Structure formats: C-alpha cells, structure tokens
Structure 1
Amino acid sequence: MHLTDIDTRVGSKSRYEFSHGNTLPLTGVPFGMNYLAVATTDQDTSWWFDPELPYFAGLHITHQPSPWIGDFQAFTMRFKTRDDRELDDYRPQDAIFRPDLIQLTSLSQQLLIRATNDRFGGKIQLTNFSNRPSKLIIEGKKVQLISASDQEVIFSSNNFAGSEDPHFTMYTALHGKFGAVKLVTTTELKKIIIVLNDENLTYATSFISQEQAKFNLSQLTLMSFSDLHQQVVAAWEEKLNLIRISDHDQNKVKTFYTNLYRSLLFPTQFYEVTSEGQEVHYSTTEKKVLPGKMYTNVGFWDVYRTNFPLYGLLLPRDFHDFMEGFLNSTKENGYLPRWLSPDERGMMPGTMLDVLVADAAVKELAPDLLEDYLEGMLKGAESSSKDSKYGREGLEEYKKLGYVSTNYPESVNKTLDYAYSDWAIGQVLQKLGRELEAQKYLKRALNYRNLFNPEIGLMNPKDDQGNFVPINTTDWGNGFTEGSSWQNSFNVFQDVVGLIKLYGSKAAFTAQLTKLVNQPALYQVGSYGQVIHEMREMIAQPYGQLAISNQPSFHLPYLFALADAPHQTEILVKQLCTSFNATFAGYPGDEDNGSMASWYLFSSLGFYPSAPGVGTYIFGIPSFDYVEIALPNEKTLTLITENNNEVNNYVAKRTFNGNKVEQTISQQDLLKGGTLITSLSLLPE
C-alpha cells in the first residue's frame, strides 16, 4: 500500500439530490479531533466541496460527519496576496488530496499551499511567487479575536448545527511571524485578517480552553513541517499496513485502501490531554470540563453493522477507547447515545449502541465496562425520556403491546431495533451471570414476530388495536426508515433462524429474498411525500429492491448463505462490489461514517459480520489473490483465492488451516490466525 495512492476526494461528487458518497476530502490522522479540507465555496452550506470546480475558498477546519448533520466549530483559512474577495483559481488535476497532505497552487494569488494536519492541529507552508506580502484571513460565524502578538494569535469560534450548550466554544491558537492583526465584522460573518511576515504557520485547537489550545500548540511549534508530516504519515501507515494485498487488478487494490482510509475517520476524538497528562473533555451536556475520554461524530444506526465489527477485529484498543468514551456520554446524558455531533442529535430509530456492548461482551473487548453499560442499557429498555432525542420513543407501547404502533413514525424499524437491543441486553446479562433477568429480555427480543404479516411475507405496521395497516410494499416511510418493507423487513439480526421459520422453510425464505432482488426497483414516496436521495440511489443500481446504497440492505445478500443458498450470496456480493471504485463518484450512496466503506472491506475480503453480539462471520466471496492481515495478537491471517478472475463467480471449495469450513466462522477462530484458501469456479459445483 502506498499512501500516495489514496485520493481523499473519492465519493465527494455529491449533491443534496443524489449521493455518490457525500464524503469530504479530509486530511488528518485516524479518528483525529480536527480534519482539514479544501472548501470550494464560501457559502453557508453543508455541501461545501466539489472536486471538479477549478476554484476554492480556502482551507477549512471541519468536524462535519455528514452534510445531513452539519458542522460545528468550523472556520476557513484563506491566503491572499491581493486584496480581493474572489474565490481563488487552481487546477484540481494538479493538486494533492491525501490523508496526510494537501497541496495546491492558488493561481490567482500566486501561492503554493502545503498543509498537513495532526490530531489537534497542523502546519501550513506557503511559497509566495508574487512580489506582494501574504495575508491570512480567518472566516467563520461567531469568530472572535482574543489576543494577538507578533508570534501568536488566539481566537474563538462558537458555531454548530446543534448542541445542548449554546456557549460551547472552540479555541484556536496560531504560531508564526505576524504583522498587523485586525477583526473585521460583516453582516454574515467575522474575519480576522493577519499579515504574514513568514511563510510558515502552525495552528492548534481546543474545546477546553485557550490555555489548553496554547498547550496543544506547544506540542507542534518545535517540529518542522517535514517532521510533523512524517508523524501523520506514520499514524496512517500503522493502521493501513495491518492489511497487505497482492492482486492482479490494481484498481481494486486502490479501491480497498481508499475504503480503509474512509473507515478510519470516525468517530472523532473529543477529549484532550492536559500538560499534567490528564485526559479531559468538555461536556456539552453538563456544560463543564470533566475527566475521561469522549468521542463524537458517530451515528450508531449507521455504523453498528460494519465498521465497529471491523474495529473489534483489527483495532481492539481503539474499540475499547471508543466504548469508554460512549460510556461517559451515557453517564452524562442519562441514556445511551444514538447520534453524537457533538452531543445527542436524536437521529434514526433505536439505541444501537446496545448491540455494540453485546459485541464487546461476546468478544471480550471491554469486560471492565459491562456493568456500567448494563445500567444504561436497562434504563433505556425500561424508562421513557420526556425528550424524544433520548432513549426509545414509543417505549411504553412497546412494553405493553409487544410492538410500537403507527402512533409513532418508523414504528416497524423501532420495533425491530428495540427487539435487537433487548436481545443484546440478554447477552450482557448472561455474560454477567444474571440468567433469570436475561430470560425476560431474550423473550422480548422475539417481539419482531408481532409485526410479521404472513400474507405478504414482510413486516407490516400495526395500529394500537393490533390490526395490520394496509400497505403497498413499495411505499417508503409508513412505518419504515429510509426505505419500504422490502429493505427493512429482514432486520432480525439476533434470530435469523426464527425469521426463517416464519416463512415455513428455508426454500420459502430464499424465494422471498429472490423476489426482492429480481423485481423492479420501483418506489412510492409514501409518507415522505417527496422523492428523497435514497430513492434515486436505489433505482440507480441494478439490484431490484436490494438498496446497497443504504444500511438496511447491507446484510441482505448474506441471508441467502444463512439459509443454505451460498451461491446466491456469492454472485450478489461479487456484483455488488463492482458498485465501488476509487473515483469522485466512488459509492452507490452515502458513505456514512465509514459504514459503507467497511461493508466493502469485509465483502471484498470474503467474510462479513453476521451481527454484533453473535460473534461470527458469514462467508461470501473474496476479491483478491492474496491478503495478509496482521491480527492484534501478533498472529497473521492469510487469505488466498485460487482461480480468481472476473468470470469465476462461485466458491467451489474453502479450507481454513487445511480443514473444510462451512458458511460461518467465529471471531475466536479467525484470531487463531492461519491460512484461509478459497477456490473459485465458473459454475456452482
């Protein structure tokens, strides 16, 4: 793998109406606190980068996890040698957009700009080809100058799409050789204009205080640009080199590592280390600085299926750190978080952090956190919040009726998610030796059955009197989240065997899945009342109602294998992987927080997590000739694919350490290391 082969612009050719990823070209370190990116507009919008525009507004400090969530504490650094308000011209094809480096030439300003970005800050190096002095212009909503000298400038920013604390502030410290500094206020934003007497700039930020920002800055000022850049390179290579691929198709290899980069961006660090070595974070809920780790910019409904199982396999230390941070969030707001940015945004149904706790339990990833987490899990399962952002909406109905009724939006998805969370609680209780209590929640985990309509073979909303509400199976909304009954009815991760029984046989179950794939990709706008981008993205892919463009469909191709029809899984997965590439339009839908990238990583390696909390993987079909995975226990997992070419779409034979393996394998077995050999064939054998 060469870091120079990764272009951070992959997936960034997106709009409100249609997503090819909705990604941003982020430069920083894995799971860093800040990211640096080029902004191609100075307008107040969440879609502030277009990879094909030949002009740009400046370098953007961003914490935006998704355009649908918005940014917080963002500002733009513009570099000028002329007094103009225009956007600056550059040649996108000549620029460098990498995880470790941004380099571009401002043709209009005659400036070469190079930037690298670490966890809390970074360095910018200018080469001025003009005979005019250069200026730095800081632009942003609610930017306020605090202090200025000839070597240091301190300012604050107070802007966010949403936060519990209206006074939540970020402090930024700049180091360089400065001339005049002034604050200019316009009707829309504030500008800090700084004359630069040197072409090198160092910056650092803090959510704690201006003193902490200065301390974070002090860690960077003694380093040269080259030294910091190499430190950022090393941070990426440490993780990217965990997987080494050799393949006849270098485009696929490039796509893999681009997706691995994407999977390592979120969640982002939201705590800092003081000069005394103490880990602290600013709690926007408690509105004060508290001890301990914290992470943000993560929606658990998006990420629980794929990237957190990836971290649990390859990066158990990071997984534990994340869970430690999310536990602090749970303690501070009273409920398990659902969508953090920077605090609870209340997006999407379910408290899917429950199932990550269960995954941690079954894989022994965070035994020290289980007791504390269980307290929060039980509260979420039994106590309703007055604020719908927290906990389970419609919980009292769920406990009384065994389902959430049409009195609440997304009622079917809520019911299925709550049932999965109940199962997760049961797993954790069992792990802690509380078997009798576990049985209550394992029984509640079967509530998904209450919404299965055998007449249509799909989940169906019910009113609060127990009656199925008539639905068109291609209507979006009407009880379902970002899809219809086709995409969402199979979200029974905790009991696929039980779900199959509702169909009467594995053959009937696979027949319904086949119908899902083979029918036209039709949709009705349903309760959404308008076309949303997910609808367009589904019909843009040739897979019927299997919307690989969105999370609810991620596991659908693997259900065939769990129903003893592995060849259907193999052909689907091989075809679905062709929907990914390393271009500006590289994704079939939103690449939410690494979730879609991690789907591709697992699927191209040839195995996919059955479900968090189960602890096993389903085999699909591998994409690469040869792979070495460095496991966290210092063992190596080697993947060899025989007869690997574009026309061989089926698995003829699979052995692990010389022994034949069936359709699933446990995490414990994978962690033993060894060699998995998969032989492909033209037709099923």
Structure 2
Amino acid sequence: MLYLRPLDIIALAGIALAKPSADYTQHVKIFMGTEGGGNNAPVAVRPFGMVKAGPDVFLQGTDAYSGYLPQGNFSGFSLMHEQGTGGAPKYGTVSQLPLVGEVTQPLSNITVGRLQPDEAEVGYYKAVTSENVIVELAAADRAGIYRYTFPSEGANNILVDVSHVLPSFRGQGLEQHYDGGEIAISHDGHYEGFGIYNNGWNRAPNWKIYFCGYFEEDAVINKTFKGTDADGSIETDGRASSTSGAVRVGALFTFDKAKVTSRVGISWISTEKACKNLEDEIPAGTSFRSVVDTTKSIWNSKVLSKVTTSATNPESLQLLYTSLYYMHLIPTNQTGENPGWKSSEPYWQDFFTFWDTFRCSTALWHVLQPEAYEEQIRALIDIYRHDGYMPDGRSSNYNGRTQGGSDADIVLADAFVKGLRGRINWHDGYAAMVKDAEVTPPNTNPPDPMAPDSSTKEGRGALPDWKQYGFITTDYTRSVSRAVEYAYNDFGLYQVAKGLGRRADAAKYLKRSRNWRNHWNKNASVGNYSGFVMPRTKSDFLNYDILNGGGYWGDPYYQASPWAYSFTDVHDAKHMIELMGGPKEFERRLNTTFEGDSAAGIGPLFDATNEPMFAVPYLYNYINRPELSVLRSRTVAKSNYNTSPTGLPGNSDAGAMQTWLLWNMIGLYPVTGQTTFLIHAPWFESLTIDLGNGKKLHITAKGGDGNGDKDYYVQSLRVNGRRWHKSWLTWDDVFAKGGRLEFELGPNPVRWATGPLPPSPAS
C-alpha cells in the first residue's frame, strides 16, 4: 500500500530512514512540461498524495489547469491541484496568500505579481512575489507547510480566502464555483473550517473540503471577514460563515515578524480529521527542511529507485526520472478519506481519466507499483458497489466525464489476464464490467450541453444502439469513437468471462468485440487509400473528413480523425489488416501516417499529442516489421520530448505522455487487455526494473549509443537466455517472475522477427 503516512511519522520522529544508493531526485526536472500545453505544475507532493502544494496563477483569459502559468499574478498558494490535465481547471483550494502593508478589502480577489521565475525541485517549491515576499512550500500526503520570508518586520499579512478556486475562461460551463463555507480563529492563531465548491471539468455537484491550520509565530492581529462584490469585506468576530456563493469568507493574519511558518492539514471528512492529519504528518515543531527531505527519501525509495540504469547522459537520465515522477502524481490515494461511504476497501480517486491512461499508464503502474495498483482496482470496484458504476474519470468524489467507452473495463481486464489477484473480488469486478456493458446509465442531470444525447458521467451512454444494431448511429455524439472503444471494452469482458469460466458470456462479448467492423466503410477513401471506420445511420454510411475529422464532444470522432481511429481495435488486428488490404497495404498506410503521401496530397498524419495514436508506431509488429516500429517510435520520442518547460508534445494527461515515453525507453509496448508486449528497442545499455518481492527485469543492449539516439535497430534478441524470433513476448515471459532481455543493436535494420505474429484474439 503506497499511502506513506507511517513512514512520515518515523522520519519526523527523528528515526533515520534507509537511504537509497543514489539521490535520483537530482535528475527530476520539475518544470518539464509546465508550458506549451503540457499543463504540469511545479507542486510539492508525495507519490499519489492528496496534497499538491503549489501556486495558483491568474492571467485573465487563460486557464491555469494545474494552477501554474509562467506569466501572470499569484492569486494564492493552495494545497489541492489536479496534475497535467486538459479539460478545465479543478481544485485550487485551501489557499494562503502573503500580502505586505495595510489590507483594506481582503476578499476582493487580490493578486500579487512575481519578482522572478519560480524555482522547484522534488518536494519543494519557491516563489518571490512582487512585494518581495519569498514563499516556500513543502508537502506530506494530507498536510502542507508554508514558509514565508517578508522583506522586513512590520505589517506582514497572510490571507486565507475560503472562496479561492481556480477559474476557467473556456466559456463552456466548466468553471468551478465557490458555494459557501466557514472559517473560525482561536486565540492562539489556529484556524479551521471548510469550503464548498462545485463544477469543473467533471461537472461535479457540491463537494466540501475541510482544513486545519496553525502558524508557528504569534499573529499580532487576526480577523475574520465576510465579503460580497457589492458591499466589500466586512469584519466579523472570530468566525465567518456563508451558505451562499455570493458571500465569501476568509481571515487575515498580521505578523510583526519577517519569518512566518504555517502548517495546514486537509480532510474530506471533518475539521477534526484535518487536524489529525496535520498532527500525524507535520506536528508542531517540525522543521520545513525535514518535510522536504522526507519527501525526497520517499520518492527515491518508493518510486525512482524502481528503475536503474548505467546511463550517464544527463538529458536521458532527466527524461527517465522526470517521467517516472510525473506518472506518480495522480490518481490520489484517499484511503480513510472517503466522505461517501464507509468501507474496508481502499479508496482512490482523481482518475483523470482512463481514456487517457488505459493505453500505457495502467500497465506501467502494474509493473512498478503492484500493491498500489491492486488498491486502485479494488477502489474502482468499490465505487461501483456504492455509486453504481465504475468511473472513467472521477474527481471531488464524483464520476465524470466519460469521453469514449467505459475504459475501466479494459483496465480491469488487463489486470486480470496478467494475474493480479491479491484481495480483489473478481466476481464483483466482473459484475461492475457487466453493468457497463448491459445497463444504460441515466442521462446526466442536467444533460451535458456539449453532448446532451446521453450520459457523460459514467457507463456507456450510447449502449441502446450498440446492443440493438451492433453499431452506433449518429443519433449519438462521438458515435464512431465510442463504437471502437465499446468493442475494445467488450473484448475486456470476454477476457474476464473466459477466465472466470463463464463460457456463454465469453462467446457473447467476443462476438460483440468485433462490432467495430460494422462501422467499416470499404468505399470511404482518400487519395488511393480505401476503407475507414465511418459514421452511419441505421441504413447508410455518411461522409466525413477522413484526414482532419478529429472533433470534440458533439462530433462523430473525439479528438482524432477517422484515419487514426481505424487503427484502434488491435485485439482484432488480423482482420483490421485484411480490411486495409493486407500486410503490404497496411505497411503503406502506416508509412503514410508518418511520412505523408505527396502523390495523394496527404501530409504526415501522426499526432503525438493525442492518446488514440499512442499504439500506431508499434503496429508494424503485426506484420513482423518491428524494425519499422523502432524507427517510427524513436523518431516520435526524440522529436517530441525534451527536458525543457515545453518538452511534452501535449497535455501530460495524468502522466499518460510520460508513460508512453517510458515504454519507449524500456523497449516494449503493452497491448492493454492482453498479456502481450510488442518489442521494439531499449534506449540504454542496461536498465533494471524492480518488480517487487525480489523480482527484477534486466534489459541490456549492446551496440547502441546508450542514449537511443542512433544505432537502435535490433540485430538479435535473447529472452531469458533463449534466442528470440517473435516481435512480441508475454507477461509471463519477463514480468511474472522477472526475466532478462539481451538486445544486440546496430545502425541498420534487419529482419530479425521471423516467428509467429502477435496474437489477434478477436480475429
């Protein structure tokens, strides 16, 4: 279990932590992907922690998805953020803001500028405001610590604004709202209370978060306030409460000292629990530095040391360990902090979303964090037990939004076929999957204005068409992209039904997993390429822009084109290749994806920013051309990723982009829902993955340059000492008990893979 509070207690009590052999945190570039649409944030955080302490930057007209922007003013420094997501901002709650001098209207959306660029390292964040206040943040799992250095002694203030939340300027009804709250101050400067908020990208109804704060220094003045836009801020007597979003509440603490430290705990349960979380994790007298050091020790021991390499190239090491870091920020381990129901099961949330993570991330969590991953699976099943459906996305304890299929189904199937058991109740897990596959969820109330036809909260909103016709008509939004995902989800049900001995169910869902074929229009063409998944009515196919048809919620395709979605259903790869004209035509179509086809007037089509294309560079393996998979995937990795602030091709999407890169470094690619891994080529001369319980996967590569820049074509491969001629291997080959991959690399491609093709179970 990766909830690390006992380790915090040991460290903060002064008991020495076992130190890993190296400080891998030195290779983590916190600002990688914080600009250019990556939406990472330089927060202080522990693996999967509830608290992600960082800045909230306000720039009119620009969404700060995870709180951070390189330009703009600080509106606060808060303890709750999502990480690396698109959609719209979420959280930005439980905030403080330092202010110098007299503050006459504290609840008036005050912001302060920044004096210099922010700084950050693992477990630590620093900013300097335009008033020359140094702000430093550190975090435990459920508590954070602020350290302020004001320019001089005098009227130095800390504003606690309960109404503070990250805004959105998208104009799509996705902005968060404050809806009331309470704050109370005791004579010793201790404050506690709660805020109520709603909406955000998942369109959540009201949710409540509790806080409990202390200042280590005595305030000379502390005041509570109520405020409205019409009346301004009005002082109250030590307590302020509101049941309306129009009435803000907050407090102002004034100090005559230049150095001020504040400790704050949070809880989804109560102020008492928030105070307990604080005292358990950052008790009175805890030094700021010890919190940072403990966080670094946890990252080293629990995450970064899981992957070791002989590489010395700084850029490669930074890409490796920064990617490992960013894939461990969400989901959030909220065990013991579930306000919805009492359960003996673990509770995880902030799944944002499986549409983003099921292709790469979940498989790598299974490899690197099997105990935490088992807890996540158990939590998904428990959410189904109490809320009715597993989530595709979930935040603030509320399911939503579902962009495509019910992709938790394929996540469970992937864990099941790879033998993850532990304390998972797989009969309940299968029941949760059947609910997705058979019961249409009630429409979102009110209907989602961007997709009003059916639920975007959970489940499969277009299920009536899927069950009646075996395809989805344009009566439903995202009809084609939903259909290819529903087919993939049904393949997941087939896998689990087969494993549980439910033969009739297995046959049913295997058949349904082929229904993506019903969207294949062999006459749809562009240039001299024919056959694509296309939108349809009950009786006819419709025309759609095959190359540029990537739309949004109301369109037939979600965030990718018909060209891209035609490659989706790899569980039926053999038939997909036949529909595209056979292996040679399939190869030609893949080549055009990356190179374009000038004779046909088609430019390069691969989109590294978008998850539906994640697997496409590796599909050459299905025609035994893994050398081309190496060429394409390595070109994508080396041209789209670097360690700069703009070093991600698109939204991190809860680490999805980073896990794609990590699999590229490892030299394998997971086929979710199967035990299959497609082989390409590793970057490093040696790489060792700690699989837990004494098991390791050792990967060596002779003949390459050790950084994946050149000489990366596989000449030969041995798996566990045996000469290997397949372009794929299985979970049991190298992960179940550990294993060894020995690559010989060289500058020129060779046809080393002459064995059986990767499995295509639905074909």
Please, what TM-score do these two structures have when normalized by structure 2?
A: 0.80
Which structure has more helix as a fraction of its residues? Answer: 1
Cα distance, 1:289 vs structure 2: 5.8
Which of 32, 39, 46 is the matching residue for 2:63?
46
CA pair 597-129 structure 1, distance change in 2 beyond 3 A: same
CA pair 103-22 structure 1, distance change in 2 beyond 3 A: closer
- Asked whether 1:374 is paired with 2:374, we answer no
What amino acid maps onto 1:570 in structure 2? V
Which residue is 1:660 aligned to?
723
Query: Residues 48 and 331 of structure 2 are in contact (CA less than 8 Å); yes or no, is this contact kept in structure 1?
Result: yes
Cα distance, 1:129 vs structure 2: 4.1
Which residue is 1:81 aligned to?
100
Q: Distance in 2 between matches of 1:395 and 1:51?
A: 40
What amino acid maps onto 1:158 in structure 2? I
CA pair 4-124 structure 1, distance change in 2 beyond 3 A: farther
- Asked whether 1:383 is paired with 2:439, we answer yes
CA pair 155-181 structure 1, distance change in 2 beyond 3 A: farther
CA pair 88-469 structure 1, distance change in 2 beyond 3 A: closer
- Asked whether 1:519 is paired with 2:596, we answer yes
Give a deviation string over 1:592-645, Cα, whole Å, max 9, x none: 0111110000011111102x2201211112122221211113122222222223
Which residue is 1:406 aligned to?
474
Deviation larger for 502-511 or 27-36: 502-511
Query: Residues 47 and 299 of structure 2 are in contact (CA less than 8 Å); yes or no, is this contact kept in structure 1?
Result: yes
Q: Distance in 1 between matches of 2:297 and 2:438?
A: 46
Deviation larger for 212-221 or 549-558: 212-221
| Secondary structure of the corresponding residue to residue 733 of structure 2 | helix
Which residue is 2:15 aligned to?
none
Which of 409, 426, 444 is the matching residue for 1:354?
409
Q: Distance in 2 between matches of 1:568 and 1:430?
A: 34
Which of 181, 190, 193 is the matching residue for 1:152?
190
Query: Residues 82 and 91 of structure 2 are in contact (CA less than 8 Å); yes or no, is this contact kept in structure 1?
Result: yes
Query: Residues 248 and 625 of structure 1 are in contact (CA less than 8 Å); yes or no, is this contact kept in structure 2?
Result: no
CA pair 24-609 structure 1, distance change in 2 beyond 3 A: same
- Asked whether 1:294 is paired with 2:316, we answer no
Query: Residues 269 and 296 of structure 1 are in contact (CA less than 8 Å); yes or no, is this contact kept in structure 2?
Result: yes
- Asked whether 1:232 is paired with 2:295, we answer yes
Cα distance, 1:63 vs structure 2: 2.8
Which of 650, 671, 678 is the matching residue for 2:743?
678
Q: Give 4+ residue runs of structure 1 displaced > 6 Å after superposition.
A: none
| Secondary structure of the corresponding residue to residue 199 of structure 1 | strand
Correspondences of 1:61-460 after superposition (within 5 Å): 61-65=79-83, 66-72=85-91, 74-83=93-102, 85=110, 87-92=112-117, 95-106=118-129, 108-109=131-132, 111-139=133-161, 140=164, 141=178, 142-162=180-200, 166-176=205-215, 177-179=217-219, 180-184=221-225, 185-187=227-229, 189-196=248-255, 199-219=260-280, 220-222=282-284, 223-238=286-301, 239-272=303-336, 280-283=337-340, 292-298=345-351, 299-342=353-396, 343-366=398-421, 368-387=424-443, 388=455, 389-455=457-523, 456=525, 457-460=530-533
Give a deviation string over 1:546-585, Cα, whole Å, max 9, x none: 1111000100000011221112111111111111111110
Query: Residues 319 and 365 of structure 1 are in contact (CA less than 8 Å); yes or no, is this contact kept in structure 2?
Result: no
Deviation larger for 378-387 or 455-464: 455-464
Deviation larger for 163-172 or 490-499: 163-172
Q: Distance in 2 between matches of 1:583 and 1:160?
A: 34
CA pair 409-86 structure 1, distance change in 2 beyond 3 A: closer
| Secondary structure of the corresponding residue to residue 276 of structure 2 | helix
What amino acid maps onto 1:117 in structure 2? A
| Secondary structure of the corresponding residue to residue 430 of structure 1 | helix
Q: Distance in 2 between matches of 1:281 and 1:210?
A: 14
Which residue is 2:78 aligned to?
60
Q: Distance in 2 between matches of 1:432 and 1:385?
A: 26
Unaligned runs of 5+ in 1: 273-279, 525-538
Deviation larger for 319-328 or 50-59: 50-59
Give a deviation string over 1:210-254, Cα, whole Å, max 9, x none: 111111111121433233222211221121110012224211210
Correspondences of 1:583-622 after superposition (within 5 Å): 583-610=644-671, 612-622=672-682
- Asked whether 1:483 is paired with 2:560, we answer yes
Cα distance, 1:678 vs structure 2: 1.8
Cα distance, 1:418 vs structure 2: 0.9
Please, what TM-score do these two structures have when normalized by structure 1?
A: 0.89
Q: Distance in 1 between matches of 2:68 and 2:209?
A: 27
Give a deviation string over 1:160-210, Cα, whole Å, max 9, x none: 334787442111101223423223324285442112466221110001011
Which residue is 2:714 aligned to?
651
Q: Distance in 1 between matches of 2:538 and 2:126?
A: 62
Q: Distance in 2 between matches of 1:517 and 1:436?
A: 42
Correspondences of 1:457-536 after superposition (within 5 Å): 457-474=530-547, 475-477=549-551, 478-519=555-596
Q: CA RMSD for the aligned pairs?
A: 2.5
Correspondences of 1:623-642 after superposition (within 5 Å): 623-642=683-702
| Secondary structure of the corresponding residue to residue 647 of structure 1 | coil
What amino acid maps onto 1:87 in structure 2? V
Give a deviation string over 1:492-534, Cα, whole Å, max 9, x none: 032212322323422222222122222279xx9xxxxxxxxxx
Q: Distance in 1 between matches of 2:522 and 2:505?
A: 31
